[in-house]
Chain A
Amino acid sequence: MSNEYAVEMRDITKKFGGLIAADSVSFKVKPGEIHALCGENGAGKSTLMNVLTGKFLASSYSGEILLNGNKVKINSPKDAKKEKITIVHQELELIPDLSIAENIFLGNQPTTATGVNWKKMNAEAQDILEKFSLNLNVKTKIKYLTVGQQQLVEIAKAIYLGGNVLILDEPSAPLTGREIDFLLATLEKLKKTGISIIYITHRLEEVFKLSDRVSVMRDGKMIDTFSTKEINVEELVAAMIGRKMENMYPDMDTEVGDVTLEISNYSVPHPLYDTNIVEDASMKFRAGEVVGISGLLGAGRTELMSAVIGAYKMKGNGTVKLNGKEVKFNSPAAAIKAGIGYVTEDRKMTGLILNQSIRFNVSMASLSRIIEHGVLSPSKEKVIVNELKDGLHIKTENIENPVSSLSGGNQQKVVLAKWLATKPGVLILDEPTRGVDVGARFEIYMIIKELAAQGNTIIIISSDLPEIIGISNRVYVMYEGKVHGELLKDELGEDSIMRYATGIA
């Protein structure tokens, strides 16, 4: 009886100052189950997991934690480790300048009499990667891996470290279709060994594919726990946002006009090897159109678009035409001037300046608009930023608040606002809804559709298949650096895209 639950959290209440982050939350996980934890950003999922993994002193919250029926106090990450609770955070915690092997064995290296046993360490690390079917050299430094590969290494490391409870916080966010399938299969296998897996995700299809039970949090409260088999998507979304969501992807007819951006026979050299990371790519984008670019991780999507606007570390070769005129952008500044905006995929690393205010971040790329007689006009800036704040429903009382005080979804809206402030005719969005909650996601789709309806060209790079199908008029699929297929609206489907993306078609 006492072992019915591997983890049992009872009436956990955690406050930050006046804010209640978790309001008498109870949460139970059975041994050998995959338990999905859902909720919008700020719902309290991270707080709950931080309690479980010892981020807070046990005295700083009320409630109790039982592991296999025994009451425990978890005061530090070290305590959590002792209780065999492992977490893979959304923010990667690998050290960029160390190799894969060194990262996996960090603080745990096999030794000889004189120091680290490199041979043994590298061999064992290679073994772990192979078990995970990761085709990487363990001596490669982490910084040379893509975000997706880093994520898989981190998960491999967590699984290697072992534990009775494995917590994964948005593990699939940077992964592409094939990698996700692979991750899900691995977790499926892992659960059979009796490990409990807590899986935090915004991707609802993963919840249904993978989990046995799903718990939903909202506004710091535990709303309910369902058996996954007995619930459908609509019910789950309704529980998450507290109301019914009619259609995730807004329907809006837009009039498609002339070609605005045209890329022909474009190649981008690989930064490390003597090959091309993008090979002979040609694409056309029209006014009023939302065009998706799909493909697996490393297919060259981001490299292509960032090279076109002059933001990639390597210079591309080929022809780029904007509104019929041949152009060449040597820096993002030139592309912005020509009316191209680029929402990058990692908002914390390349989208925001976290120590600055919302105002500073929004106006950063469009300072020329707020310059009067050579001097920045704070009043003009305020008007422009407030307009965007209201238009995009950025939830904040004051645009002077630090951008770091916002939730992920609202931060993403700030990035979007920054680019909208430049009034771009062509807007490229790279993974625009990664780590963004359902409600904010819908709002971002609405904005995208509205921009297209106004005659702008929208280009979306996304690994989220339902998203790219739901929102695009047309999709290019890339495979190993080449444009492998072009799918029109009525040809769009997960299977058709995947066939091109994996090189079958």
Chain B
Amino acid sequence: MENMKKEKKGLKKFTDFALSNFVIVAFVILFISSYFLSPAFFTKNNLLSVLIQNSIYAICAMGMLIIIITGGIDLSTGAYVCIVVCLTAGLIQDGHGVASIFIVLVMALGIGAVSGSMVAFLNIAPFIATLAMTTILKGAAYMYQTGQNRRIDGTFLPKWVKTSTLGVPNPVLVMIVVYLVVLFVLNRTRFGRGIYAIGGNKETAYLAGIKVKSYLVLSYALGGMCFAISGILLCGRLGMGTATVGEGYEMDAIASVVIGGASMNGGTGSVTKTIVGAMFMGVLYNIMNLMGIASYPQMIVKGVVIVLAVLLYKTK
């Protein structure tokens, strides 16, 4: 009797853990099943390419997470990536070298600050403010890009993106650094505490002395910077500037954040689970490709996975 009670308690603990860390459990299950589903999956080359490819998405997702924690959203992720790819290539062509990277990052911070200011000071709904920003950035990208050839093969960026440091491919290294920085910012700084509070209850946060407006501006700026880092990596991978990239990045980023257990109402979210969420989507795509499933059915599977994830978190 006593034993059964203990067992029951243990089981409950386990299901609680599994539900709140659903994405990690699901990732492990997916990974193991993939091993059996395709012999091509568990090879060094395949795993590395999945990691490299998805590091770009994962960095976007982490930027999105910061904004979603405040209770906001940024729909302009893809547009950031698009304009950053064009600008980075253009600036490198113009001979700015490594400085191009810093110029682009500062610019992204500025764009994010503008979005954030619209939300914080002008009280425009995040959805609308960043929707407007999307078309502004896209328009600017096309204006900058049209009629130009922006190949940058052979420059430092494509080379760096394709090399490894200490055996870790550089894009993956960047993702790890961004992860550690975001982890630190969210858990060990006043700003991190502040945005969880703002997302939980803006009024209470303000009355407790939290600088709601500046933190909102800062979170959109930091989000923008993450999107720009992804854009720079993508530019390096492509070896050129083009305005046709970035489509749908915001949706993948939101999906990763949600699969990682954050609430769209704000106030919750974990960066570790967000990264696992992004990798989960990546591995899912990969194994479907390896199994020869066409891309349209893949989209359906993706939608179903998002709904299932949200439902599972709800039962907790």
Contact = CB atoms under 8 A, between A and B. Distances in A.
Contacts of B207: 311, 332, 342, 344, 350-351
B102 interface: no
Nearest to A375: B188
A452 B201 CA distance: 31
B190 A349 contact: no
Interface in A310-335: 311, 331-333, 335
A336 B206 CA distance: 11
A353 B201 contact: yes
Nearest to B200: A353
Given A367-B190, A376-B189, A376-B193, A352 B209 contact: no
Contact of B189 (A331, A350, A356, A375): A375
B54 interface: no
A367 B191 CA distance: 10
Contacts of A264: none
Given A375-B188, A375-B189, A376-B189, A354 B211 contact: no
Contacts of A371: 190
A418 interface: yes
Contacts of A374: 189
Contacts of B208: 332, 336, 364-365, 418
A355 interface: yes
B190 A364 contact: no
B198 to A, nearest CB: 9
A418 B201 CA distance: 15
A360 B196 contact: yes
B201 A354 contact: yes
A91 to B, nearest CB: 15
Contact of B188 (A336, A356, A376): A376
A467 to B, nearest CB: 23
A333 B210 CA distance: 7
A335 B208 CA distance: 10
Contacts of B188: 375-376
Interface residues of B, number: 21
Contacts of B21: none
B46 interface: no
A311 B202 CA distance: 13
B209 A353 contact: no
Contact of A350 (B190, B204, B268): B204
A66 B272 CA distance: 54
A371 B190 CA distance: 8
Contacts of A332: 206-209
Contact of B204 (A336, A353, A368): A353
Contacts of B189: 374-376
Contact of A356 (B187, B192, B200, B211): B200
Nearest to B12: A17
Contacts of A344: 207
Given A364-B205, A365-B209, A354 B200 contact: yes
Contacts of A356: 196-197, 200, 267
Contacts of A353: 196-197, 200-201, 204-205, 267
B201 A352 contact: yes
Nearest to B208: A365
A352 B204 contact: yes
Contacts of B268: 355
A353 B265 CA distance: 13
Q: Which of A335, A355, A371 has the most CB of B within 10 A?
A: A355
A342 B201 CA distance: 17
A311 B190 CA distance: 21
A364 B203 contact: no
Interface string A364-389: 11011001001110000000000000
Nearest to A418: B208
Contacts of A418: 208
Contacts of B210: 333, 364
Interface in A412-451: 418
B190 A336 contact: no
A311 B212 CA distance: 13
Contacts of A350: 201, 203-204, 207
A353 B204 CA distance: 7
A418 B208 CA distance: 9
Interface string B127-170: 00000000000000000000000000000000000000000000
Nearest to A349: B203
A393 B45 CA distance: 59
Interface string B32-55: 000000000000000000000000
A411 to B, nearest CB: 12
Interface string B263-299: 0000110000000000000000000000000000000
A355 to B, nearest CB: 5
A371 B192 CA distance: 13
A123 B150 CA distance: 71
B270 to A, nearest CB: 14
Contacts of A354: 200-201
Contacts of A337: 209
A305 B201 CA distance: 22
Nearest to B263: A355
Contacts of A368: 190
A374 B205 CA distance: 20
Contact of B209 (A336, A355, A376): A336
A181 to B, nearest CB: 32
Nearest to B268: A355
A357 to B, nearest CB: 11
A333 B197 CA distance: 14
Contacts of B203: 349-350
Contacts of B204: 349-353, 364
Leading 4 A-B pairs by shortest Cβ distance: A353-B200, A333-B209, A365-B208, A336-B209
Interface of A: 311, 331-333, 335-337, 342, 344, 349-356, 360, 364-365, 367-368, 371, 374-376, 418
10 contacts: A332-B206, A332-B207, A335-B209, A349-B201, A350-B201, A350-B204, A351-B204, A354-B201, A364-B208, A418-B208
Interface of B: 187-190, 192-193, 196-197, 200-201, 203-211, 267-268
